[in-house]
A and B are shown apart, each in its own frame.
Chain A
Amino acid sequence: MSAKTLGPVRRKFAPWDDTSAVPLISIKNVSKQFGSFTAVDNVSLDIYEREFFALLGPSGCGKTTLMRMLAGFETPTSGSIMIGGEDLANTPPHKRPVNMMFQSYALFPHMTVEKNIAFGLEMDKLPKGEIASRVEEMLKLVKLESFAKRKPHQLSGGQRQRVALARSIAKRPKVLLLDEPLGALDKKLREETQFELLDLQMALGMTFVIVTHDQDEAMTMADRIAVMNHGKFVQISPPAELYEQPTSKYVADFIGDINLLEGRVEKSERGRTILDSEMTGTRIETVTDSSTGGSAIGMGDKAWYAVRPEKVSISLLPPNDPGVNTAIGTVWDIGYVGDISVYHVRLEGGGTMRASIANTRRVVERPITWEDKVFLTWAPDSGIVLTR
């Protein structure tokens, strides 16, 4: 990779770039069919030790099926799944070195919190003393020491979530699978818990695989994210790369907000692509960086320039060179969120574009308002050229 890195990185952790690294989980050409419906379509994936990996996608994209195959609740129609070098094709769930935290938590309603956490340890036939100390340690870890004797129905949703977590990590599995672990929590609690989970994963040194449809959750926690759609991986990348270097319109649109400006390739040479965009009525000059530079773009081909709203500047005054990277339009709508304002601009060329501006001041002399004629500009390296 180039010297420039994308976004903050939690220490340097990128075993997927290291060709000598041995993956902990190796999924090869796995498919799963339910009757004539293909839930997972010939996917391959390596997940490394200590990685926090997220499977992200809309409901019905196959992410849960893939996770259930890792846990052993579904068997692949074809392909192989290896964990720690062992082929798990014929291993039933109760013999796998993975544990799962269920979306519904699946706590045993007839057992106390303590008994729930001890259940897996009892199955391993650990000595009584060790079970007791391990349960205590887990209760402390999830801050539920005073709830040990309660039954699940006497706990709040957040507490039940923590019991489910404690129960699934009590056996210290090689891999922890989390199925929408924060789905049932409210927003504030969810954000707190995201960081708690991150800290926990670092402290335990476990490999986490999480299934989620919430992109914020995946972006916050994961080392790498696999975006899934229709049973296939669309892109597997670290969060910053996914956001800044999407390889397809689908990913660009799925992750965050984006302007997709359609155009025809006028010129494409090393490090530079020029698009002619009728929609914006401008020429788009871009700096192509290494990640997309490789893909062949033919002259006259249809392509899209993808630029995030926060990377678009909005101004009442025309820029120096209005013929390049400038779209002219009128403000159609303003979405005031508090920290940012999102301007929806109707372009003269017919399309609409969004620009979001951070509200760094409380009072502005001449705020941009409805019906204003505005100039939208962006730097050549703000966006990315996509061909599919």
Chain B
Amino acid sequence: MRRFSLFNAVSLTLGFAFLYLPIVLLVIYSFNAGRSVAVWGGWSTQWYGSVFKNGQLLDAAWITLQVGFLSASVATVLGTMAAIALARHGSFVGRTVFSGMVYAPLVMPEVITGLSMLLLFVSINVDRGFWTIVLAHITFTMCFVAVVVQSRLASFDRSIEEAALDLGCTPFMTFFRITLPLILPAVISGWLLAFTLSLDDFVIASFTTGPGATTLPMKIYSDVRLGVKPEINAVCSMMIAVVTVIVIISSIMTKRQEVERERAERMAATTP
């Protein structure tokens, strides 16, 4: 093992401080007893209590969860389908264009995605609100699901599917009985990824929203413009907690899947 030198220690501390100090401060101040945001007034959990009495905040949180759940679910179905088309169906006409277009939203600035969505909804004269946010979120989270699922399919032994066909299973049933159970961990982590992305999206949601559909990030932003209340710190801390838990679950699932695959490969290599 490498020695833990002073240089390493310093760079590690600085790096983590740079990344997490603001977040740690936010969490600490959410337990602040005082009314002022920047002045410490002792420990208290009163702001967490007042969050649950704040109807507007709760409404926004509920809308955010609904948007996240719906858009992640639809994006998972569409993203998985796109991944299968890309991984399985060889070189169909327009494959390159299709794969480029599926992945484009990954690198597209959110402002552009949001603005173009807004223009679309305006030009086809759709009333903006809850459903337009859901649609927009499906569009931008779908590609993340496609990436996750496609990488799983790339390491998938196709002869397992062929064996099912050979035993009399229709291609449709083969997908549900063989392929889907085997790629399920990747599909679930794709869903979780899409859900978290939808949860903390502010830019696209604010472009595509209308009256009556305010998501939590939008609510927080508008409240903060009138001055930061300790209540907001509590809400943000809870959001951090939710996202952290989801990210941890998702990475554990991916890790476990990798370990299992490695073990299977090792067994295949050593057993006669």
Contacts and interface: CB of A to CB of B under 8 A. Distances in A.
A185 interface: yes
Contacts of A102: 159, 162-163
A124 B173 CA distance: 13
Interface in A173-196: 184-186, 189
Interface string A61-98: 00000000001110000000000000000001111101
Interface of A: 71-73, 92-96, 98-100, 102-104, 106-110, 119-120, 123-124, 153, 156-158, 167-168, 171, 184-186, 189
Given A104-B159, A106-B159, A99 B166 contact: yes
Given A99-B166, A106-B157, A184-B272, 7 more contacts: A100-B163, A106-B159, A110-B182, A119-B169, A157-B268, A167-B167, A185-B272
Which interface residue of B164, B263, B264 has the most chain A CB atoms within 10 A?
B164
Which interface residue of A94, A102, A124 has the most chain B CB atoms within 10 A?
A94
Nearest to A120: B167
B160 A108 contact: yes
B271 interface: yes
Contacts of B166: 71-72, 93-94, 96, 98-100, 168
A73 B174 CA distance: 15
25 contacts: A72-B166, A93-B162, A93-B166, A94-B165, A94-B166, A94-B168, A94-B170, A96-B166, A98-B166, A100-B163, A102-B163, A106-B157, A106-B160, A106-B162, A107-B163, A108-B163, A110-B182, A120-B167, A120-B168, A123-B168, A123-B169, A123-B173, A153-B264, A167-B163, A171-B168
Question: Majority SS of interface residues in chain B?
Answer: helix
Interface string B234-269: 000000000000000000000000000001100110
Contacts of A100: 162-163, 166
B178 interface: yes
Interface residues of B, number: 23
Given A92-B165, A120-B168, A153 B267 contact: yes
Given A109-B182, A123-B168, A157 B159 contact: no
Given A104-B159, A157-B272, A109 B167 contact: no
A183 to B, nearest CB: 11
A185 B169 CA distance: 29
Given A102-B162, A106-B160, A153-B263, A119 B167 contact: yes
Interface of B: 157, 159-160, 162-171, 173, 178, 181-182, 263-264, 267-268, 271-272
A95 B167 CA distance: 9
Nearest to A159: B271
B61 to A, nearest CB: 37
B168 A110 contact: no
A28 to B, nearest CB: 23
Contacts of B169: 94, 119, 123
A305 B220 CA distance: 93
Contacts of B173: 123
Nearest to A99: B166
Contacts of B160: 106-109
B162 A186 contact: no
A92 B174 CA distance: 14
A108 B168 contact: no
Contacts of B263: 153
Q: Which 7 A-B pairs have the closest CB atoms?
A: A120-B167, A123-B168, A106-B163, A106-B159, A157-B271, A186-B272, A93-B165
Contacts of A93: 162, 165-166
Nearest to B264: A153
B41 to A, nearest CB: 56
A260 B173 CA distance: 56
Contacts of B159: 102-104, 106
A99 B272 contact: no
A186 B272 CA distance: 6
Contacts of A186: 272
